[in-house]
Amino acid sequence: MGKASKDKRDIYYRKAKEEGWRARSAFKLLQIDEEFNIFEGVKRVVDLCAAPGSWSQVLSRKLYVPAKLSSASRDADLPLIVAIDLQPMAPIEGVIQVQGDITNARTAEVVIRHFDGCKADLVVCDGAPDVTGLHDMDEFVQSQLILAALTIVTHVLRVGGKFIAKIFRGKDTSLLYCQLKLFFSQVTFAKPKSSRNSSIEAFAVCENYSPPQGFNERDLYHLLEKVGTPSGVDDLDCRSGWLEGPNKIYIPFLACGDLNGYDSDRSYPLPSSSEGRLYKSLDPVQPPIAPPYKTALELKKASSHGIVDIEKLSLNSDL
């Protein structure tokens, strides 16, 4: 699809470039905030799976930049924003970057160290594995990312704090809801208007972190294992799947973002046709600096230029 055609068919892609966001995902976090006011009182944040960085940009613009501009703020009082991803990303004002795998305990330790004994008010996670299109598989790998994110949450989030995580809605959604409900008094699944209806993506908005009494964060994996087994934790009456009739649980599910606003599944005419002026498609604000598909792109470009020494090229491009 050409750039102009994508501009027409994806209004949020076009608006992201016009407003200086690195990715259209920025609107998802902004629309979640419109509904849930997630940034209120927030001074320390972790952005998990952050590249190319549009959520970090939102955090920087909403929290860091205003605090920096306010003359009352001393350096020590400036918000702390730590962003983690497998991929490197171009710098963003006020954002500390950690490159690593969130499922790796060592990455979690680096994040925790940045907080130096303090706790975060908010953890966000927009993590997504490369989607295969096999819904069961995608949902499973996504749930592993959420588990890793939740493990970091239990180490860094303060009691009362919030956690926003991308989920893929599927047959195990109720189980995930129950697991999150163990740690947060309020859990809502939200679908921002900028997230396409055709996508099974949604966001768990978890408020008021309140781990179960006696919970030890190192026990998280055991606890989650138990919840998944019908004979596991006796007093959990919200295990999904096998609950019927009056015991069936209903997950709070909310559409967010201005309902009269742009519809991510609609095509919008480009200004050239509607306003009689020449429309120029903008370049992306900040292309990923080392995307995992870089080698594939280079190989494709090379083959279209008739370069045959593919092996040499693929070796070089890993450097």
Q: Is 168 in the site for ligand SAM (CB under 6 A)?
A: no
Q: What single string gives the DSSP state of each residue in 63-125?
A: IIHHHHHSTT--GGGS-EEEEEESS-----TTEEEEES-TTSHHHHHHHHHHHTT--EEEEEE
| Burial of 29 from C-beta contacts in 10 A (0-12 / 13-18 / 19+) | buried
Q: Which stretch binds ligand SAM (CB under 6 A): 100-108, 218-226, 243-251, 306-314?
A: 100-108
Say whether 234 counts as a known binding-site residue.
no
Smallest gap from residue 176 Cβ to ligand SAM (A): 17
Q: Residue 86: phi, psi to the nearest 5?
A: -65, -35
Q: Please identify, using beta-carbon distances, which residue of 170 and 211 lies nearer to ligand SAM.
A: 170
Say whether 126 counts as a known binding-site residue.
yes
Q: Is 54 in the site for ligand SAM (CB under 6 A)?
A: yes
Binding mask 5-44 for ligand SAM (x = CB under 6 A): -----------------xx-xx------------------
Q: Please identify, using beta-carbon distances, which residue of 50 and 270 lies nearer to ligand SAM.
A: 50
CA distance 313 to 295: 9
Q: Is 101 in the site for ligand SAM (CB under 6 A)?
A: yes
The secondary structure of 221-260, three-state, reads HHHHHHHCCCCCCCCCCCCCCCCCHHHCCCCCEEEECCCC
**Catalytic-role residue among 17, 166, 191, 193:** 166
* Residue (of 44, 126, 51) closest to 88 by Cα position: 51
Q: How far apart are the first and last CA of the chain?
A: 30
Q: Is 79 in the site for ligand SAM (CB under 6 A)?
A: no
Say whether 121 counts as a known binding-site residue.
no
Q: Please identify, using beta-carbon distances, which residue of 269 and 292 lies nearer to ligand SAM.
A: 292
Size of the site for ligand SAM (CB under 6 A): 23
Q: Is 162 a catalytic residue?
A: no
Binding-site residues for S-adenosyl-L-methionine: 53, 55, 85, 101, 126
